[in-house]
Amino acid sequence: MEKVLNEQLRLLVELQELDSSILSIAEKIESLPARLKDPRNHLREATNALQGVRARYEEVRKRKKDLEFQLDEIQDRINKLKEKSREIKTNKEYEAHLKEIEAHNKKKNEVEDELLQYMEELEGMNGVLKAEESRVKEAEEELKRHERALEEEKKALYKEMEFYKSRRKDFVSRLDEELYRHYMNLFKKFEGIAVVPVENEVCLGCNTNIPPQLYNDIKQNKDIFTCYYCKRFLYYQPHHVREGE
């Protein structure tokens, strides 16, 4: 049969279990923001891609506007040259005049070809812009969903923590003040582990061997003992045979 723990020892063991639960919950709460890393990365990537497309769209739109302005200027020059044709007197001047018109027409064709390319690119980019804007919106909604879910999880964790803290007060009020003071010193020193079980004549806190007679006394769970090396409180936890052993 399992040995009934000394009342103060039982309080220490259960206080340790409560504090371990509180620490575990605190770690979970602290880890929550990290779970937003992926959705935030998705939003950042989508936003960067959209900004890149918008920048290119604006660059193409500006270039298209510049080409349209150039085209108007070239056409204006051609029109003026054609009007001036009536004033030409000699064949030589007329030939030179036609060459000038031809050069402007050539330039006009080049500008028109380039303008057409930019117009086609702009037309194609309209669909890309809508797709990237939709991607950003979906990423924003995804992030909001994760934030809401984590906020609900955080509330539940804080509620659970408050429950354990309330129980903790009850245990502390029934614990000997000197024992509690020693417990808290160990708790701070060993990062939350002040009470540990023994097994096979070994302290499971620091893995130091325990003298056989002391181990037998600890196994009775009638008195409070501490490890002579790490000073943690010790208790015996009967070994339960696992399934399949």
| Each residue's pLDDT expressed in tens, for the chain with a length of 245 residues | 345 679 999 999 999 999 999 999 999 999 999 999 999 999 999 999 999 999 999 999 999 999 999 999 989 988 888 888 777 778 888 788 788 888 888 998 998 999 899 899 999 999 999 999 999 999 999 999 999 999 999 999 999 999 999 999 999 999 999 999 999 999 999 999 999 999 999 999 999 999 999 999 999 999 999 999 999 999 998 764 333 33
Assigned CATH for 32-172: 1.10.287.1490
* Residue spans in the chain of domains classed CATH 1.10.287.1490: 32-172
- Secondary structure string (H, E, C) spanning the chain: CCCCCCHHHHHHHHHHHHHHHHHHHHHHHHHHHHHHHHHHHHHHHHHHHHHHHHHHHHHHHHHHHHHHHHHHHHHHHHHHHHHHHHHCCCHHHHHHHHHHHHHHHHHHHHHHHHHHHHHHHHHHHHHHHHHHHHHHHHHHHHHHHHHHHHHHHHHHHHHHHHHHHHHHHHHHHHCCHHHHHHHHHHHHHCCCCCEEEEECCEECCCCCECCHHHHHHHHCCCCCEECCCCCCEEEECCCCCCCCC
